[in-house]
Amino acid sequence: MTALLLCLVVVAADPPKQSAKAAETLQALHLEEGAKWRMHLDSAHKTKAELNRKPVYIWSNPTRSGGQNGSVFVWTFKGRPLIVGSIFSHPEAGRRMVCHELHSLATGALFPERDNAAEKWEPKAAIKLEPLKAAAAPDASPTRRLVQMRTLAREFTGHTIDYTKERWELRLLSQPLYRYEKPEGDIVDGSLFAFVTSAGTDPEVVLALEARKTESGSAWYCRAVRFSDSNLYVQHKGKEVWTSIRDDQNQLHFNPEHTYRLIRDKFMDELPELVAETAK
């Protein structure tokens, strides 16, 4: 069955001043880096999730590392996103550092690989979505289900605590990053939502909401995942339901299950378009 996908490209508000040519070059770089991943779903590498080459979100954070710019991509299989990846870069020591930040949404095994990669990503567990028990049943109408998902997403709030112990409130983006209707299997509908802070428009938390078929009908399921180096606290209707707190197991570059991975991948010469803008 061919999945019907609705992908909304969300462009972060108030990006740093940058020429259209420089922005285009950065986005091309981030796509090139993301395309290096092969997201296999079996150890024999016979099946894989496919990269959606159009970014679902373009972001900037002028407060970090001299100005970070990034693109968020999804890799899908049979209509469902199995991986969310934020590929970003920033100036450092006169050059450009390229980083890969990835989180699995796969409910089964995942075997990512890249050729000649200095650092690997080896998830050790599947992702489990939890039932949203108090939510009304998913509507039969796709249009009304989207309204439901937006309403459900607004029930979640949260904050971060950074390394200086400063607290930052999380803000839900008004548009879902990505919506997937009628994927194969037991999923009826789903969307990915992002939470950001006032420090920048890079995602700190991604929230997956899915309507799934069950024995008694269909029901909503959810899962929050980490996209931050800060401590994260998420509440649902005021009650804390999920945290990601840094410790010996939940480190800067990975979480305990290695379903999250941050890789400072490589230095490269600064892009000519950005060198020219800096010189102005």
Strands (E), 29-135: 38-40, 48-51, 57-61, 68-77, 80-92, 95-104, 111-113, 130-131
pLDDT at 4: 39
What's the rounded Cα separation, in Å, for the pair 214 and 212? Answer: 6
pLDDT at 198: 87
Residue 46 falls within a domain, yes or no? Answer: yes
pLDDT at 1: 38
High-pLDDT (> 90) share of the chain, %:
79
Residue 1 falls within a domain, yes or no? Answer: no
169-172's contacts with Cβ under 8 Å and 24+ in sequence apart are 169/197, 169/198, 170/195, 170/196, 170/197, 170/204, 170/205, 170/234, 171/195, 171/196, 171/197, 171/198
| Structure tokens belonging to residue 75 | 């890799």
Within 8 A by CB and 6+ apart from 165, the residues are none
Residue 32 falls within a domain, yes or no? Answer: yes
Residues of the chain below pLDDT 70? 1-17, 276-280
Query: How many domains is the chain partitioned into structurally?
Result: 1
pLDDT at 10: 53
Would you tell me how many other CB atoms lie within 10 Å of the CB of residue 257?
A: 14
Q: Which residues pair with 171 in a beta bridge?
A: 196
Parallel, antiparallel or unpaired: strands 217-226 and 57-61: unpaired
Residue 3 falls within a domain, yes or no? Answer: no
For 47, the domain range is: 8-279
pLDDT at 15: 41
Residue 36 falls within a domain, yes or no? Answer: yes
Residue 256 falls within a domain, yes or no? Answer: yes
